[in-house]
Amino acid sequence: MKSSITRRRLKRGHHTKRDRTMGMNIVDRIDDRVTVNQVLISVSDKSGLDEFIPALVRINPSIRIFSTGGTFGAIEKILGDAAGKHLVQVSDYTGQPETQGGLVKTLDFKIYLGILTEKYNDSHQEDLKRTGAVPIDMVVVNLYPFASTVARDGVSVEEARSNIDIGGPTMVRASAKNYLRVASVVNPSDYGAVVDALTANGGATDLALRYGLAVKAFEHTAAYDRHIADYLVKQTPECVSGCYSAS
Question: What value does the mean pLDDT take over residues 35-58?
Answer: 97
Over residues 194-198, the mean pLDDT reads 98
If you average pLDDT over residues 163-174, what whole number do you get? 92
Cβ atoms of 131 and 111 within 8 Å: the answer is no
pLDDT tens for 104-151 read 566 788 999 999 998 888 888 898 899 899 999 999 999 877 888 888
H helix and E strand count, the chain: 13, 7
For the chain, the straight-line distance linking the first and the last C-alpha, in angstroms and rounded, comes to 61
Rounded mean pLDDT, 18-23: 47
**How far is residue 38's CA from residue 36's CA, in Å, rounded to a whole number?**
6
Cα angle 77, 74, 216 (rounded to 5 degrees) comes to 140
* Rounded mean pLDDT, 168-190: 96
Give the alpha-carbon dihedral of 143, 147, 152, 153, to 10 degrees: 140
Residues in the chain: 247
9, pLDDT greater than 80: no
SS3 27: coil
Which segments within 15-112 are labelled E, that is strand?
A: 34-35, 38-43, 64-67, 87-89
Rounded percentage of the chain residues whose pLDDT exceeds 70? 86
In this structure, the strands spanning 204-205 and 34-35 are: antiparallel
Please determine, for residue 208, whether its predicted confidence score (pLDDT) is greater than 80: yes
> Could you tell me what percent of the chain has a pLDDT over 90?
59
Q: What is the mean pLDDT of the chain?
A: 86
Q: CA–CA separation, 142 vs 40, rounded Å?
A: 12
What's the burial of 65, exposed, middle or buried (CB within 10 Å: 0-12/13-18/19+)?
buried
Quickly state the pLDDT bin for 97 (edges 50, 70, 90).
low
* 56-71: average pLDDT: 96
